[in-house]
């Protein structure tokens, strides 16, 4: 009888342990399954977005292959004025960035789309945003490499649809608008008005923010600063974005709207140190307006271009920093 009473007392406890164990096991399976699905989904999308370049995996400006997890690398971000799976045509935005994992820093510069440069592969000078229409990504990367005399290791090209989806998936990004902005694009977002000052923008508002230039007294240079600001905000927001399950709709929109040559494993590796970024340093290219045969161009200041090139070379570990470079950086 005594033994029977002891067994009766243990049953509720044993039942509780079994239920608890089953509950934790179920949660483990669900969470693990969601994580596995998320990784599978991302891997599949990045594979479909992968685009091989004619030059191969390595820039001709490199003596050896680089590992973005350990080595300083450069990435060219291209915003294309297109929608609905179209990734051709002229580039509406071009931002070149260098990443240094040891220093945990990023440097970036906006390239004005009307910059009068040599289009490598055509033997002519033209607006730099025409390079993509003339010869696609290879001609664009060759032209930018020739312009800055540095390797462009990776690229990310995306159209308006992907840009909007990225911002919305991050629950918007924070900007400090230097002025009130109104922009109209009937094919995408209609008319959008943005107030001056610190605020959070959704995808459509962010697109209007980086596209407007007619109301900006600094024209394309002012627009370039806003583009760098948005990319910096996206990098910092994405680096701390830990909920993988929220990327579902975003990943679906990538297919056909984004191309890159960054592998899935490299993305994961860069994300691990991007979360510890110390700062993002922004450079600006200056110049003057010129007209050739009735066509407007932006003539870059060669001295300023050389300063930016030297800064990138130092950040990429391609040359030592000089006293002159140190002074320029401080200024």
Question: CA 159 from chain center: how many Å?
Answer: 12
Q: What is the pLDDT of residues 77-128, one digit of tens each?
A: 998 877 665 666 678 889 999 999 888 888 999 999 999 999 999 989 999 9
Contact residues for 85 (Cβ-Cβ < 8 A; gap 6+): 159, 161, 256, 257
Residue-level pLDDT at 44: 52
Q: What is the pLDDT of residues 276-309, one digit of tens each?
A: 565 788 899 999 999 999 999 999 999 999 999 9
pTM of the shown model = 0.74
Q: Tell me how far CA of residue 184 lies from CA of 58, 192, 209, 245, in angstroms.
A: 40, 6, 11, 33
Most confident residue range from 41-45, 155-159, 321-325: 155-159
- Stated length of the chain: 331
């Amino acid at each position: 009888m005594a033994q029977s009473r002891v067994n009766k007392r243990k049953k509720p406890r044993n039942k509780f342990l079994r239920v608890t164990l089953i509950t934790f096991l179920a949660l483990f399976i669900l969470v693990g399954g969601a994580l596995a699905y998320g990784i599978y989904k991302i891997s599949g999308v990045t594979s479909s977005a992968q685009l091989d370049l004619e030059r191969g995996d390595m820039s001709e400006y490199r003596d050896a292959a680089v590992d973005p997890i350990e080595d300083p690398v450069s990435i060219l971000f291209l915003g294309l004025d297109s929608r609905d799976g179209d990734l051709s045509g002229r580039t509406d935005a071009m931002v070149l960035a260098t990443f240094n994992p040891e220093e945990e820093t990023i440097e970036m510069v906006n390239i004005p789309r009307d910059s009068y440069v040599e289009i490598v592969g055509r033997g002519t000078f033209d607006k730099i945003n025409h390079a993509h229409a003339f010869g696609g990504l290879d001609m664009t990367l060759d032209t930018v490499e020739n312009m800055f005399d540095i390797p462009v290791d990776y690229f990310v090209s995306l159209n308006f649809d992907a840009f909007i989806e990225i911002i919305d998936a991050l629950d918007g990004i924070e900007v400090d608008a230097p002025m009130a902005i109104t922009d109209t694009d009937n094919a995408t977002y209609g008319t959008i008005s943005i107030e001056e000052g610190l605020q959070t923008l959704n995808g459509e508002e962010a697109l209007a923010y980086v596209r407007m230039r007619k109301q900006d007294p600094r024209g394309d240079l002012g627009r370039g600063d806003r583009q760098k600001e948005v990319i910096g905000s996206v990098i910092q927001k994405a680096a701390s974005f830990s909920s993988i399950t929220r990327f579902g709709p975003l990943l679906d929109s990538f297919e056909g709207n984004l191309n890159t040559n960054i592998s899935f494993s490299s993305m994961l590796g860069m994300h691990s140190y991007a979360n510890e970024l110390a700062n993002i340093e922004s450079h600006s290219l200056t110049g003057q307006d010129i007209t050739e045969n009735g066509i407007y161009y932006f003539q870059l200041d060669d001295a300023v271009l050389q300063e930016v090139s030297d800064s990138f070379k130092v950040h990429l570990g391609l040359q030592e920093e000089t006293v002159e470079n140190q002074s320029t950086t401080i200024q």
